A = this chain, B = another copy of it.
Amino acid sequence: MKIVDYKDIEPTRFDNDVAKGVTGRVVIGKADGADNFCMRVFELGKDGHTPCHTHEWEHEIFFHSGNGEVLSEDQWTPVSPGTAVLIPGNGKHQIRNRGEEPLVFVCLVPAGAPEL
């Protein structure tokens, strides 16, 4: 069994042309023996956002803290702690922080997708 506070895992930061203020951590993955799906935790800083992109694999997301919005095709929808989101494979998507505090969410991907 692995028991870890996500903040104790070394973060990877993304700040580039397509992602802003994003911190990602693989909290449960193949290195832990999790062969079927992978849990990552992301933090978006104030005004931060993930890339607007599309890929073959799905996301299952749970919003832990903060307030933001999710883009589904061309529609932005508010999300807050307790919101769950399924982004199907090949669906265009993006997530952005719309609050003052970090937007923190768990995002899981199936085996075969990049872990981070």
A residues at B contact (CB < 8 Å): 1-7, 27-28, 32-34, 36-37, 39, 41, 58, 60, 62, 64, 70, 72-73, 77, 79-88, 91, 93, 106, 108, 110-111
Closest to A105 in B: B62
| 6 contacting pairs across A/B (C-beta < 8 A) | A2-B84, A2-B85, A2-B86, A4-B83, A39-B108, A60-B108
The answer to whether A3 and B64 have CB atoms under 8 Å apart is no
The answer to whether A41 and B88 have CB atoms under 8 Å apart is no
Question: Chain A interface secondary structure, helix, strand, loop or mixed?
Answer: strand
Closest to A57 in B: B36
Residues on B with beta carbons closer than 8 Å to the beta carbon of A70: 1, 3
